[in-house]
Amino acid sequence: TQDLNRLIMFEEGQQQSVNALPESKFTTALSALGAIIRYLELCNDGENFGQFKLQLLDHSRFVHLDSAAVAALSLLPQPGHSAAKHHSVLGLLDHCRTQQGHRLMAQWVKQPLRDLAAINERHDIVNTIANDTGLRQALTEENLRHIPDLQVLSNRLQRKKASMQDCYRIYQALKKFPFLLETLGEENVTIRSVFFQPMQALLLDMQNLQEMIESTLDFSLVDKGEFLIKPEFDDDLKELRYKMDSYEDDIRKTLNKAARDLSLEPGKTIKLESNSQYGYFFRVTLKDEKVIRNVKGYTELDANKSGVRFRSNELTDLNNEYQQARDEYTKQQEAIVAEVISVAAGYSQTLQSLGHLVAQLDVLTSLAMVAVSAPVPYVRPVMHAKDTGILSLKQARHPCLEMQEAVSYIANDVNFKQGECTFCMVTGPNMGGKSTFIRSIGVVALLAHIGSFVPCEFAEISVLDSILARVGASDSQVKGMSTFMVEMVETASIIRTATSNSLVIIDELGRGTSTFEGCGIAWAIAEHLAVTSKSFTLFATHFHELTRLSESVKTLANLHVTAVTEQDTLTLLYQVRPGACDQSFGIHIAQMARFPPSVIQDAKRKLSELEDHQSLIIAENDGKKRKIIQDGEKIMEEIIEECKKLKQQNLVDSDIAAAIAKLKKEALSRNNPYINALLAKA
């Protein structure tokens, strides 16, 4: 609290305490904020005091994304990975030309909207820019790329940390805005109301700042990298300026003398240049380097591909005197600069607002570029209000995968409608495209909610309240959680969060425990999402028993990814078709991964045995059959434990045989069909 009291900018007359603010009741959020403040060490810099505002973010404005969904949909680039840009959704979409645009694009990707009017407004602007090639090119190539980071410059002004160079950059940016307004001026009503008119009003407010910079900054020195106040503001500055001009005249004369000494042509083979590091110096090309070698009175500074930089003794003395005069000039002008920055600081909020408009325009232009430059152009989704219960995509594609080289993407459909179909159980072979299919639906839904066009032939989407995912499996050693525990915790979060307006993506749930327990858990969760939550759900699984849920849940549809087997070869077609798949083709995939032939044969033999054993059980339904097998496995575990005890008794062979026969008789007496079938085959 003490740190916050120092950092927050309180309003005039307001009690100078965080506890007096309405946000103080959010104790957990304030604790987290305190940790961030300490991590960033904000209180170590006194310039941060009184520079921040406390604002509550309204979560109801945005589609909820859990961390698993962010990872599953590959929204953000992985830290430390130098993969291609299109390997993440952010990398794919971010063709922004300004720094503020890059930051806002990342924010939009992580904060999809739930406001239908705001989503449609973004779609309107993207549609206008996408359909006008001239406008798109003008914004990208001419207008936006030359605008500096106005938000950073605004922060420097607000903290009064800006320099005259920053003021010059602001001035240059303001001069470019009339051309930007000219580009936007003839466009549709939405662009005029969202960008043209607000920018025009803000630029009118900035006019006085522009005039002040024009009247104070000495533009004749800007090309030399010097940002000084005009000498007319102070008599001492006039005197120092006169001295600097005099030194510069003498410095220019040294060029002709050096040219005569070295037998070079002034301004052509030998040049007089200056920079902030060395001040004034001579430069010759690398091939002329030999002319200054061992010449008395000339000292080489450095050499690079542009040539050799050097000075004469006379130029060195004059340069030192000039630098000393310039330093005095800079010190003398400090009071005037401070006054200029103080006045300019009053325009920081206006500049911040202007920067935000530029960022929005940059992001929407980038979205339009992505839409028209994709292998197959994106389309505008038809958005419906919340609770209308529809998610229909025709020929949906994964935007990142279709950008990969040598990839011919197979598009697929999905049709959800409340009361008719809200749950798709997806089965099929490994590597058949189940995960890609369900992820592509999630990415398309997210793109629509951030205001982007979508990679489909047609898309009709009701506004969602959340996109939730349970994809992949990994343990969390820091939290002391196993792979299965992480899976269960994330799934529990989905069950608590999902509503009839949510999109849920689940892939291979229940793999981290025994087959029957995993199947039972997956069955219960699928049934809850389909019957209770009624969420739009894509559930990929290898538990083929789950496809029987469609018999009792009328809003559940079975889908499968297609594959063709011929002479022990597997051809994956990546097409999603109605109906269930009765096998996973795991052994075929193992062959494709070049397992040793002996391992493949053993796997086939074991699979055949297991299928034979289970086919011996005759039951009324799959549920009863699973119960019989589970009971039989418990009996087998008991028999194995008894056999272990026999080893410890040091019995002779005849006694062991008699004991085993007795155990067999006890097992048969349990009257379990699974055990009876196994022992009969033995």
Q: Say if residue 416 is exposed, middle or buried (CB neighbours under 10 Å; 0-12, 13-18, 19+).
A: buried
Q: Is 346 in a helix, a strand, or coil?
A: coil
Query: Is the CB of residue 193 less than 8 Å from the CB of residue 331?
Result: no
Whether 604 and 560 map to the same domain: the answer is no
Whether 420 is in a domain gets the answer yes
Q: Looking at residue 2, what is its pLDDT? A: 80
Euclidean distance between CA atoms 116 and 508, whole angstroms: 33
pLDDT of the residue at 639: 82
The answer to whether residue 585 scores a pLDDT higher than 80 is no
- Is residue 361 situated within a structural domain? no
608, pLDDT greater than 60: yes
Rounded distance between C-alpha atoms, residue 588 and residue 236, angstroms: 88
Amino acid 622: pLDDT:
57
Asked if pLDDT for residue 432 goes beyond 90, the answer is no
Domain harbouring 243, CATH code: 1.10.1420.10
Q: Token pair 């914004």 is at which residue?
A: 139
Report the helix count and the strand count for the chain, using DSSP H and E: 24, 15
* Residues 592 and 640 grouped into a single domain: no
Chain-centroid distance of CA 443 in Å reads 12
Q: What average pLDDT does the segment 436-444 reach?
A: 94
Which residues are paired to 64 by β-bridges? 466
Q: Mean pLDDT over residues 265-271, rounded?
A: 91
Shared domain check, 535 and 412? yes
Q: Is residue 98 within 8 Å of 139, Cβ to Cβ? A: no
Q: Which of 268, 250, 270, 248 is nearest to 259 (CA)?
A: 270
Domain that holds residue 604: 584-612
Residues 6+ apart with CB under 8 A from 57: none
Residue 525: inside a domain, yes or no? yes
Domains in the chain: how many in total? 5
Name the packing angle between helices 116-131 and 348-373 (round to 10°). 60
For residue 475, what pLDDT is reported? 52
* Whether residue 331 sits in one domain with residue 299: yes
425 with 548, same domain?
A: yes
Same domain, 604 and 638: no
Q: Is residue 168 domain-resident?
A: no
Same domain, residue pair 647 and 566: no
Q: Give the C-alpha separation, 512 to 473, whole Å.
A: 8
Same domain, 394 and 462: yes
Mark whether 470 and 458 lie in a shared domain. yes
Given a cut of 60, is residue 615 above it in pLDDT? no
300 and 399 assigned to the same domain? no
| Eight-state DSSP code of residue 217 | B
Residue type present at position 342: S
Identify the bridge partners of residue 169 per DSSP, sorted by sequence position. Answer: none
- Please provide the DSSP assignment of 357-421 as one string: HHHHHHHHHHHHHHHHHSSS--B--EEE-TTS-EEEEEEE--TTGGGSTT-----EEEEEETTTB
pLDDT at residue 344 in the model: 92
Task: Look up residue 510 and give its two tokens.
Answer: 């229940």
Of residues 613 and 562, which shows the higher confidence score? 562
How confident is the model at residue 290, as a pLDDT? 87
Length of the chain: 682
CATH number at residue 391: 3.40.50.300
Residue 371 lies in a domain: no
Type of residue found at 192: R
Within this chain, do residues 530 and 591 fall inside the same structural domain, yes or no? no
pLDDT, the chain, mean: 86
* Segment 88-134, tens digit of pLDDT: 999 999 999 999 999 999 999 999 999 999 999 999 999 999 999 99
Residue ending a domain, choose from 313, 340, 367: 340
**Given this model, what pLDDT does residue 81 score?**
59
Determine, yes or no, domain membership for 112.
no
Please state, in angstroms and rounded to a whole number, the distance separating the CA atoms of residues 20 and 208: 38
Whether residue 514 is found in the same domain as residue 645 = no
Report the DSSP beta bridge partners of residue 52: 8
Give me the pLDDT at residue 611, please: 56
100 is a domain residue = no
276 domain residue, yes or no:
yes
Positive or negative, the Cα torsion across 195, 197, 199, 202? negative
Encode pLDDT of 308-357 as tens digits: 999 999 999 999 999 999 889 888 888 888 999 999 999 999 999 999 99
Helix (H, G, I), strand (E, B) or coil at 460: strand
The confidence band for 468, taking pLDDT boundaries of 50, 70 and 90, is very high
Q: 16-64, pLDDT tens digit by residue?
A: 788 878 888 888 888 898 899 889 888 888 878 888 888 888 888 999 9
* CA dihedral sign of residues 310, 315, 317, 318: negative
Q: What is the pLDDT of residues 68-80, one digit of tens each?
A: 899 889 999 877 6
Q: Residue 277 in 3-state DSSP?
A: coil
CA distance linking residue 500 with residue 505, whole number of Å = 14
